[in-house]
Structure 1
Amino acid sequence: MAQISTEVPGDERGTLLSFVEAQRTAIRESLLGLSEEQAASRPSASELSLSGVLKHVAEVELAWLRMAQQRPNERHRTQETRDEMFRLVGSESVPAVLAFWDEVRQETEAFIAAVPSLDDTFPLPPAPWFPKDGKVSMRWMLLHLVEEFARHAGHADIVRESLDGTKAMG
């Protein structure tokens, strides 16, 4: 649930950002107290691990931010590296991915604060799941991040409960 904060403006931007942050928090909290090994485990029927969910959502947020900024994505995934989006590789660690995601969060919030209007649009890349020559607004992007993060916060809840019985809501 989105927390009401006196630090975030109660306007539309602040409200949307607070809902995005509430879902980020749910995912981050699913990893509290776990070892790297536990975070990488897959104790449920799902192929997802908590560290894989974390990396995925951080990279998804960066991808949407770069599309909105109309800048190249320095972590763009190819067909060959797509599976790496869902697992930590090499020297990656949960703290490192959390730090990366925090940098992305700060950049997203600064970008949204600076756009003249949430009605401003940006083009979607060519993809079978996007309409030809499609565009979306900044508002749409923020709502999409809420949807994306909420879906994966639910995944994280199930994986964490399967791992050690910890429940997000008590």
Structure 2
Amino acid sequence: MAQISTEVPGDERGTLLAFVESQRAAIRETLLGMSEEQAANRATVSALTLSGVAKHAAEVELGWLRMAQQRPNELQRSPETWGDSFVLVDGESIPSVLAFWDGVTQELEAFVTALPSLDDTFPLPPRPWFPKGHKVSMRWMLLHLVEEFARHAGHSDIVRESLDGTKAMG
């Protein structure tokens, strides 16, 4: 269920940001009470882990922010390092991933709040899954983040329930 914020304006921009945050929170909440080892455990036939999903979601958010800003993504993954976006590596921890995500979240919210219009567009990069020469609006990006995070929140719910029986909805 979506969380209704009393701190974010109820206009379209505030509503979209609130829905993005609600789905972010759903992913983050699956980590509550988990040790590093538990959160890195593959509890299903999927390779997804709770910590890996959180890291991936943070990196995805940064990627969309950088596309919207039309700036290079400092964490752009190559085909060889793409899998690293789903696992904690090189001394990463749940607190470090969540702190990184907090920074991305703050930057995205400041960027979106300062936009003249959610109708502003940016070009999609050349990728096989994007139409060539296509642009999307800032509104589309926010809705896409809701979709992306909701999908991964569902994955995280299943992994968490498989690990210890904890259910997101009671």
Tell me whether the two structures share a fold, i.e. TM-score over 0.5.
yes
| Aligned residue pair count | 170
Deviations 1:74-101 (A, max 9, x none): 0000011101011000100000000000
Q: Which runs of 5+ in 2 are unaligned?
A: none
Q: How does 1:61-100 map to 2 (within 5 A)?
A: 61-100=61-100
Identity %: 78
3-state DSSP of counterpart to 1:8 = coil
3-state DSSP of counterpart to 1:105 = helix
Q: How does 1:9-88 map to 2 (within 5 A)?
A: 9-88=9-88
Aligned to 1:107: 107
- Retained in 2: the 8 A contact 1:2–1:21? no
Distance (Å, rounded) in 2 between the aligned partners of 1:143 and 1:82 = 24
Q: TM-score by structure 2 length? A: 0.99
User: Runs (4+) of structure 1 moved beyond 3 Å?
Assistant: none
Distance (Å, rounded) in 2 between the aligned partners of 1:42 and 1:62 = 25
Q: Which runs of 5+ in 1 are unaligned?
A: none
Give 1:129 shift. Answer: 0.5
Q: Which amino acid in structure 1 is aligned with residue 112 of structure 2?
A: I
Distance (Å, rounded) in 1 between the aligned partners of 2:160 and 2:2 = 21
3-state DSSP of counterpart to 1:89 = coil
Aligned to 1:169: 169
Distance (Å, rounded) in 1 between the aligned partners of 2:105 and 2:149 = 13
